[in-house]
Amino acid sequence: MLSNNSAKNQACSYNSRDDQMLIKGHAVNSDPKYYVLTAILTVIATVAVLDFYGYIRHSSEADAAVVAQYNSVILEPGEEFRMSPKKSQHQAVCIRDYIVIQTTTPDGKQLRSILVDDKQRGLPCGG
């Protein structure tokens, strides 16, 4: 039994003077900066692999583009308001309780955008 324990003690030993641990004859540095460096490199490698396999979706400029700007006209009771008789190219629909603006681009692609206020909060549908 003693020989078995002495074999284990020889497999892993710690030298406090050099701040190194010996595991099966190989020196392992236990300085905290190596652990931090290892953690940072692990995160970078993980993000790179997730990006390579398509698990990270990158937004394009078209995703953040301003499709159109809208103005709000305050109507007082009994006040007349004049607007153009032509219909807009945009259509407002209610999806998941928010106002969504739908439009079709000249190349036939249909775009949807959520109507938001100046603090980027979605405007809910009335009702």
Tell me the pLDDT tens digit for each residue of 71-99: 778 888 888 888 888 888 888 899 999 99
Structural domain range at position 12:
2-52
Name beta bridge partners: 91: 102
When pLDDT is cut at 50, 70 and 90, the band that residue 1 belongs to is very low
Query: Is 80 part of any domain?
Result: no
Question: Residue 19 has which token pair?
Answer: 């701040």
Identify the pLDDT of residue 59: 76
Number of structural domains found in the chain? 2
Quick check: 3 pLDDT over 70? no
Q: Are 70 and 118 in a shared domain? A: yes
The closest alpha carbon to 8, from 28, 22, 29, belongs to 22
- For residue 45, the surrounding DSSP H or E stretch is helix 32-52
Answer whether residue 48 is part of any domain.
yes
Are 34 and 8 in a shared domain? yes
Q: Are residues 69 and 103 in the same domain?
A: yes
For range 7-17, the mean pLDDT: 52
Same domain, 7 and 35: yes
Cα–Cα distance list, 120 to 38, 58, 114, 116, 123 (Å) = 38, 20, 10, 5, 9
- The answer to whether residue 39 sits within a structural domain is yes
